[in-house]
Structure 1
């Protein structure tokens, strides 16, 4: 039997065996290699990043706005002062000015704050055996192993970028082995924990790459109208006299002079955003910067940040866009505005992740923008600044809520004996109002006012109720929970329960009437919650169909924004075999994909090859009419909604359900198709305003 270590490297297949052999061939003991890889398994999430590097995929005005912002400039100037003695010593030894060294440090790791969190052995081994550029990454992995084996690096907790760059100034392992310097004299080259080692090594790299001491990296220039942009490019060098002859001048209109450019008379013209954007002449020192990371936007970030650290003002020409990028101050302001509008994005930290992009997409959709791309730019920031302040979606825990949750009281203004077909009693372990009509039966839990069952005469229950559903005060899994005045944790903190207040308090039966045709109409409401200006009333009409309405009223003096859903668990023969029509062509936000937007192709089902076997999708601007087709039960459930702009379709799937005691193997017995107003489809009620959310179920044979 293979040892656990050998089994682990075997996860990489024959490639893993080859890596082991190569490491042993360069001097590493087999036992040492096996120990290092004992818990290393492939991480396939790095593969898409091969073709998604921000230097090549992000508009240059976004890239530079993020990396050369006021905060990075201020922090860089502070680092210049703090490490002045060290930087002066490095400048004397390697000929690299302090501002350039600190600019590399700032761009690469924000002065040591952000150096990457991916385990290096895992990332490099994965890239060595998968995707393009395998030979390159194989060489980097072997270089890393040699550094570990010789004691330069400790393997525990060794992390970096997805591609294997690591340390204060993000060296690749082969560069580390070739260039790194022991800058603090302790006998080790530690670019992770030692600032002197990292900064000296960066200076050594630039020197080895051809940096010319005392010369500039380049200069911003102006090109004449009608200039042939095909003459631009880093590899198309011309003497300054040739550029002068073509009409290129300094940005202030002055003539290009060799003395002003030191002794570097051969320069390349750069037009990073085309002829309508900034123009620059780049000299050999620019090439040295470019060699650090072969991307134009990266090299310009280093060059312009270094200029700013020397007291300059950055580029003078504007980028050719009406929607420039944002620095961290602008991003924090944007996030603050998003938080004020109820988006659950965490802290306003200036770091734009999936949650912030999802919130931006929601606001772009609300504004009616055709391209809701989630981009954090000046346009969306200004739109939210100019927008009428949105009412908050954040609700505080009402006073007395916890006492309501614990109350076992059945509250009713209706005498059961006065209404034929209405009674109270136990329904599958829950205290409930029971309804019997000539056409159907139903049960509504006192706890949460939750529809637990609707059974058409001679048919099966329309609703699924978990056989392992827990007793109050735990929310009941199944039926149709009422999520109000917010859905999930949309805009809420962790001090309030998920999915709102009313599903975990006892409700009151306000009225019950038997109609002439024998159907029953019930009016129910949760208790009035102190400090909450919204009031909720629910009506249920139980007969040939099930009709349910949620009426929300704003009794306060200020507008209130809320979200809501009727979280229907439909009873199905096999969730893998049913289909839901009425969603084709709709845009949905996939919560299992970080909230990214997709377009539904055809009917919904759990056989969708994009993400089979599970679903958590928010369909925005939904049409309000869906049909759940169940061949196993030989029936369809027609679902018509009103006052609902959103459809949520959810099934936990096998893996997630296994971790949920009240679902488990039952995941194949339900599909949630929920009527609501969630995500971007919030409801804003003016004082005295009313809103009705309605749904109707009708069961038909297939």
Structure 2
């Protein structure tokens, strides 16, 4: 199979040059050489790339992201429908003791662990059927984000070398997001955790590891379980929306937002905090849509996925788990 990229780029790795317009087989050879230089064993390299194949569907999926933008009123019911809320509550009760144990260890409320599990992979049901090595190699070869996907390929090989999973079982999305919490390989190396003490970090099939890895990601990213994520609010007429945004200079205390006329969604006063907490005003759909005051935990969810909609879907689902 030969596929020429429209733009030729070269990458030098320890004196060896990999050309971006090389055919796929030659490109794979370049990846193998890079892996050797990074200390990946010959056995892991051979097993990982034994049946590697270019996946046009992955490239098509990347280039055909949905363009139609839903409003939050349309998106949230789709991301967290009634059946998913019901299932989240049932799974929260089923895994309660384990979730509480892990939540205490990492300082994360269990309901947020379950909510992320539900929004990311429908509680482990939709994790992707691609070979992660196939997906990452294809996306690197495609060239649009080559540096990123080459690094992720090397991270995936490191996971295999550490023995957390066999190459044939390393499955994920078309972009290489893996397991029930949909970690990219680099996120796995940074945040995956052994939740059941068996020495492995199995985010594909071991729920305790999925929970611990999710909690560890949030904890290391700045989560504070003394607070929630935020709340939907109502603005007074004529409110100046130039104050919205999540930059550091846009933060105000709840008392300051209250003084500007911001109220809870039902019109009652914002809560009075014994300790001041920074809050940011966001209006993802502008003044005609939903408006929220969010705390730093929401900013942490945005590190997980840089989508206001995703973070709000997780937050909404978490609020309904009891």
TM-score bracket, normalised by the shorter chain, equals 0.7 to 0.9
Q: Find the counterpart in structure 1 of residue 165 from structure 2.
A: 153
8 Å Cα contact 1:222/1:279 also seen in 2 = yes
Matched, 1:69 2:81: yes
Q: Find the counterpart in structure 2 of residue 287 from structure 1.
A: 299
Unmatched runs of 5 consecutive residues or more in structure 1: 1-9, 311-702
Q: Find the counterpart in structure 2 of residue 187 from structure 1.
A: 199
Distance 2:241 2:148 in 1: 34
Matched, 1:254 2:258: no
Q: How many residues matched?
A: 299
Q: Find the counterpart in structure 2 of residue 174 from structure 1.
A: 186
For the residue of structure 2 that corresponds to 1:28, the secondary structure is coil
Q: Find the counterpart in structure 2 of residue 106 from structure 1.
A: 118
For the residue of structure 1 that corresponds to 2:124, the secondary structure is coil
Mapping of 1:372-387 within 5 angstroms?
none
Distance 2:321 2:43 in 1: 49
8 Å Cα contact 1:272/1:296 also seen in 2 = yes
Structure showing greater radius of gyration is 1
Cα displacement (A) at 1:193: 0.8
8 Å Cα contact 1:11/1:41 also seen in 2 = no
Q: Find the counterpart in structure 2 of residue 79 from structure 1.
A: 91
Distance 1:74 1:65 in 2: 13
For the residue of structure 1 that corresponds to 2:286, the secondary structure is coil
The 3 A distance-change label for structure 1 pair 133 and 308 is same
Cα displacement (A) at 1:110: 0.8
8 Å Cα contact 1:220/1:279 also seen in 2 = yes
Distance 1:142 1:220 in 2: 42
Cα displacement (A) at 1:51: 5.0
Matched, 1:242 2:261: no
For the residue of structure 1 that corresponds to 2:159, the secondary structure is helix
Unmatched runs of 5 consecutive residues or more in structure 2: 1-21
The 3 A distance-change label for structure 1 pair 146 and 91 is same
For the residue of structure 2 that corresponds to 1:176, the secondary structure is helix
Matched, 1:278 2:290: yes
The 3 A distance-change label for structure 1 pair 112 and 71 is same
TM-score (norm 1): 0.41
8 Å Cα contact 2:72/2:290 also seen in 1 = no
Distance 1:127 1:25 in 2: 21
Name which structure has the greater RCO, CA cutoff 8 Å, separation 6+: 2
Q: Which range moved further: 177-186 or 155-164? A: 155-164
Distance 1:138 1:19 in 2: 8
Q: Find the counterpart in structure 1 of residue 109 from structure 2.
A: 97
Mapping of 1:202-217 within 5 angstroms?
202-217=214-229
Cα displacement (A) at 1:241: 3.4
8 Å Cα contact 2:178/2:204 also seen in 1 = yes
Cα displacement (A) at 1:53: 4.4
Over aligned residue pairs, what C-alpha RMSD do you find?
2.0
For the residue of structure 2 that corresponds to 1:78, the secondary structure is helix
8 Å Cα contact 1:116/1:160 also seen in 2 = yes
8 Å Cα contact 1:55/1:295 also seen in 2 = no
Distance 1:290 1:54 in 2: 20
8 Å Cα contact 1:55/1:63 also seen in 2 = no
Distance 1:54 1:308 in 2: 28
Distance 2:232 2:87 in 1: 25
8 Å Cα contact 1:55/1:298 also seen in 2 = no
8 Å Cα contact 2:47/2:167 also seen in 1 = no
Mapping of 1:473-488 within 5 angstroms?
none
Q: Find the counterpart in structure 1 of residue 31 from structure 2.
A: 19
Cα displacement (A) at 1:98: 1.2
Cα displacement (A) at 1:94: 1.0
The 3 A distance-change label for structure 1 pair 95 and 82 is same
The 3 A distance-change label for structure 1 pair 248 and 55 is farther
| Structure with the larger helix share | 2
Cα displacement (A) at 1:11: 4.6
Q: Find the counterpart in structure 2 of residue 227 from structure 1.
A: 239
Mapping of 1:378-527 within 5 angstroms?
none
The 3 A distance-change label for structure 1 pair 304 and 277 is same
Distance 1:200 1:39 in 2: 32
Q: Find the counterpart in structure 1 of residue 13 from structure 2.
A: none
Q: Find the counterpart in structure 1 of residue 132 from structure 2.
A: 120
TM-score (norm 2): 0.86
Deviation track 1:167-190 (CA, whole Å, cap 9, x = no partner) reads 111111111111111111111111
For the residue of structure 2 that corresponds to 1:42, the secondary structure is coil
For the residue of structure 1 that corresponds to 2:280, the secondary structure is strand
